[in-house]
Amino acid sequence: MSDLDPIAFPGGRGRSGRPQAPSRVTFERRELDRILNLYGRKVAAGEWRDYAIQFLKDRAVFAVFRRAAEMPLYRIVKDPALTRRQGAFAVVAASGRVLKRGHDLERVLRTLEPLRVVN
């Protein structure tokens, strides 16, 4: 068994004990918690019904659907290649238009939050 390669987990350690580069881009735990928190509120409000997560080599995508058989209403994208430029996070509409891009996931997700009127 010693000649078999270990299973490569994102951020895992190889045989040498040094950290391995992730083979796919993923959402970190706190990022996914924030996205699922928003998703849960939208489901409770009856606006969203389904989601899909895709971890690709160059980006991670969280797609939100009104119905499972449709195109996604919104895609929340994490693209580390844009981290130093426009920001790694983006919200993309069904038309393909980027609604918001930035370095902070919290601020980017605010575009999907309803405006709150305070009296």
- How many residues are recorded in the chain? 119
Q: Between vectors from CA 56 to CA 3 and to CA 94, what angle results, nearest 5°?
A: 165
Please give the residue range of the domain that contains residue 105.
29-112
Give the residue-averaged pLDDT of 37-64: 92
Summarised one tens digit per residue, pLDDT across range 53-106 is 999 898 999 999 987 677 899 999 998 888 888 888 999 999 999 999 999 999
- Note whether residue 92 is domain-resident: yes
- Note whether residue 19 is domain-resident: no
- Note whether residue 86 is domain-resident: yes
- Note whether residue 118 is domain-resident: no
- Note whether residue 39 is domain-resident: yes
- Note whether residue 14 is domain-resident: no
Q: Are 63 and 35 in contact (CB under 8 A)?
A: no
- Note whether residue 18 is domain-resident: no
Q: Is 48 left (phi over 0), alpha (psi -120 to 50) or beta?
A: beta
CA 10 – CA 65 distance, rounded (Å)? 27
**Counted domains in the chain:** 1
- Note whether residue 79 is domain-resident: yes
